[in-house]
Structure formats: structure tokens, C-alpha cells
Amino acid sequence: MALEEKPFKNREQVKAEVKLCSTVGTIFQLLGFLFAILGIIGDAFNTTLGLETMSWFLLAIFVGIASVIPSTHAVAAKHLLGIEAEQ
């Protein structure tokens, strides 16, 4: 298999990709928690915090689902070069 056909050139590139995906997934998860907390606070105080309460909850759900994508990418990158045990 030629080097151009491989999805990654070397293990260091995979490790950098996995680290980036982990960071992005963590940021998305934290944003999801933040949006959910804003929705709870807005509902508890019966006030609008920039958006309606349901909008904060919908944003939390959307960002929570979106946080799965970087995690899936990291799993695929690990699987392609078999570096599960190194992380």
C-alpha cells in the first residue's frame, strides 16, 4: 500500500488527531452542560436568559449529540493504526 493511500502518514499524526478530537469533544460536552444549566436557571427563576428555556435545552441536546462526532473520529483514527493501548 502506497503512502498516499493511507489515511494517516505516521503514528504522531494519529496521536495529534486523537488529541484534537478529544479536545473538541470535551469543549462540546462542556458547552452542552452549560446550555442545560442556563436552561435550568432560566426555568427556575422564570426569566429569559437571552433565549427561552426550551431553546437552551434544544441547544444542549444538539451540542451533546454533536460531541459524539469527534469521539467517533478519534475511535476510527485509533482503529486504523491500532494504537488503543498507547493512549
* pLDDT tens for each residue of 46-57: 888 888 999 999
Q: Please report, rounded to a whole number, the percentage of residues in the chain having pLDDT higher than 90.
A: 51
**How far apart, in whole angstroms, are the C-alpha atoms of residue 41 and residue 17?**
36
- Considering the entire predicted model, what is its pTM? 0.76
Residue 83 confidence class, pLDDT cut points 50, 70, 90: low
pLDDT at 84 over 60: no
**How far apart, in whole angstroms, are the C-alpha atoms of residue 16 and residue 9?**
12
